[in-house]
Amino acid sequence: MSFELFISRRYLRAKRKQGFISLITFLSVAGVTVGVMALIVVIAVMAGFESDLKNRILGVESHIILLHHGGGISDYPKILNRVREVEDVEAATPFIYSQVMLRSATGISGGVLRGIDPESAGSVIANFGEDALDALAGRARQDRTEGVKAGIVLGKELAANLGVRKGDAVYIISPRGMLSPVGHMPAMTRFEIVGLFESGMYEYDGSLAYIHLSDAQRMLRMDDAVTGIEIRVNDVYAADRIGEKIEAELGFPYWTKDWMQMNRNLFSALKLEKVVMFIILALIVLVAAFNIASSLIMMVMEKTRDIAILKAMGATDKSIRRIFVFKGMTIGIIGTTLGEILGLVICLLLKRYKFIELPSDVYYIPTLPVQLAPWDMILIAAAALFICFVATLYPARQASRLDPVEALRYG
């Protein structure tokens, strides 16, 4: 053990007459502990919210959508085969998208109509139940042979707004109608509700309606064309790169949008909020760092005679600086370690027992989600130790600049 570290450890154990300095040291450790603990818990909860939101979005939306400049894709079976052959693409399915009005016997609501192919949509849309897909596929087959009503799957909240349930009938009013002697007339088609789905997000559950691709083509007068192709890839964070590969394979006029582009504003806001919370809570550690600096400054004033004797015995300015830097960093290391342990324990308790419940009318999840990433803990610890290190520089520098002759004369 170097003599600098030995002396700094001795200075940590203040004598009775230095009890005030010892109290400030204790408060410094407590401040760093609370700051690090709060940072870990808050960042873990925010990361949990972000991860849960991402999973819910990707449960309804595809990773990439392929579109055609100027309109729909008419030769989509051939394009589907080419897309599926692109490296890192797991699955692809055609879709039709349109905004419509839905009317029931008790209500009317706007919605987003999506025509899907039940045979391939399940491999792309993760949260779409197999029962609903089978019901759409079976109803489409019956429609061709027996003339029964076409089937539709509604979001749970949309069905509640319309006052309908499984087995009831709804009318879809499409703006793509026909010209009549009195002007443009919207098209109205009757569907039977064959299933309900719930994604957990009101934005989807309150607006989405799914019908069979062939029913959407007939109702919207699209012949054999589709709006685009939904694509699922093996790495969601490489969706932009894979989208570029698909564009390069197909060429103009095809273009792609990935899930990060479609939800850029939302995830940018979450990232900004996470950074702001990190900065705000880091101020707790900064306050503790001021306590570290205060205790070191008072320690320098108290140990002026000791510093002079050390210098007279041959200690260099660098050695004196190290003594006080070691003392301040010891406080920072103890506080950071305790904060990391307490933060980890609290996160594990929140994740296991879920004792904090959230109001269901405000949040889309019942309890606090927690996702503790090792890199977040490392970053928080590094930030706390850096702040503590900066706090030691001025007192250590002042101690190293003491003149031993003057200190012994007037000490």
Q: What is the largest CA-CA distance in the chain?
A: 111
% of the chain beyond a pLDDT of 90: 9
Q: What distance in Å separates the CA atoms of residue 409 and residue 404, rounded to the nearest whole number?
A: 8
Check whether 285 has a pLDDT greater than 90.
no
Residues in the chain: 411
| HEC assignment per residue over 372-394 | CCHHHHHHHHHHHHHHHHHHHHH
Average pLDDT over residues 69-83: 86
DSSP H stretches of helix in 61-110: 76-84
Residue 174 CA to residue 187 CA, distance in Å, equals: 5
Give 70-78 contacts, CB < 8 A, sequence gap 24+.
70/253, 71/225, 72/96, 72/222, 72/225, 72/226, 72/227, 72/228, 73/225, 73/226, 73/227, 73/228, 73/229, 74/223, 74/224, 74/225, 76/224, 76/225, 76/226, 76/229
pLDDT of residue 140: 62
88: exposed, middle or buried (C-beta count within 10 Å: 0-12, 13-18, 19+)?
Answer: middle
Is the pLDDT score of 175 beyond 60?
Answer: yes
DSSP secondary structure letters along 345-364: HHHHHHHHH---B--TTT-S
Tokens for 87, please give them: 């490296």
- Give me the percent of the chain exceeding a pLDDT of 70: 86
Give pLDDT, residue 336: 92
Pairing label, strands 108-116, 89-103:
antiparallel
d(CA 191, CA 86): 37
User: 29-48 pLDDT, tens per residue?
Assistant: 888 899 899 999 988 988 88
pLDDT at 207 over 80: yes
Range of weakest confidence among 118-122, 239-243, 381-385: 118-122
**Residue 343: pLDDT band by 50, 70, 90 thresholds?**
very high
With cut-offs at 50, 70 and 90, classify the pLDDT of residue 19: low
- Assess contact for 231 and 245: CB atoms under 8 A: no
First to last CA, the chain: 29
- Beta carbons within 8 Å of 349's beta carbon, 6+ residues apart: 355
Predicted confidence (pLDDT) at residue 355 exceeds the cutoff of 60: yes
pLDDT for residue 200 is more than 70: yes
- Burial call 343-354: b when 16+ CB within 10 Å, e when fewer: bbebbeebbeee
Decide if pLDDT at 58 tops 60: yes
Kindly give the residue spans of alpha helices, DSSP state H, lying in 303-371. Answer: 304-312, 317-353
Least confident of 163-167, 329-333, 379-383, 403-407: 403-407
Check whether 143 has a pLDDT greater than 60: no
- DSSP per-residue string spanning 147-180: -PPEEEEEEHHHHHHHT--TT-EEEEEEEEEEEE
pLDDT exceeds cutoff 60 at 410: no
Q: Contact, 408 vs 312, CB < 8 A?
A: yes
Residue 341: predicted pLDDT: 94
Residue 163 has pLDDT above 50, yes or no: yes
pLDDT band at 202 (very low <50, low <70, confident <90, very high): confident
Q: Is 246 helix (H, G, I), strand (E, B) or coil?
A: helix
Cis peptide before 253 (omega within 30 of 0): yes
* CA nearest neighbour of 257 among 125, 54, 61, 65: 65
Which range in 39-43, 124-128, 281-285, 303-307 is most confidently predicted, on average pLDDT? 39-43
Q: What is the mean pLDDT of residues 275-290?
A: 84
16 pLDDT tier (thresholds 50, 70, 90): very low
Return the beta strands (E) in 4-88 as ranges: 64-68
pLDDT of 345 > 90? The answer is yes
> Higher confidence at residue 80 or residue 312?
80
pLDDT at 344: 93
Q: With left for phi above 0 and alpha for psi between -120 and 50, is residue 126 left, alpha or beta?
A: alpha
| pLDDT given at position 382 | 92
Residue 185 has pLDDT above 60, yes or no: no
Question: Which residues are bridge partners to 230 per DSSP?
Answer: 65, 93
Give the pairing type, strands 208-212 and 150-155. Answer: antiparallel
CA 266 and chain centroid, separation:
9
Mean pLDDT, all residues of the chain: 81
Q: What is the pTM for the complete model shown?
A: 0.75
Contact (CB, 8 A) for 246 and 257: no
Beta partners for 153?
A: 195, 210
Place of tokens 């012949």: 223
Give the pLDDT band of residue 69 (cuts 50, 70, 90).
confident
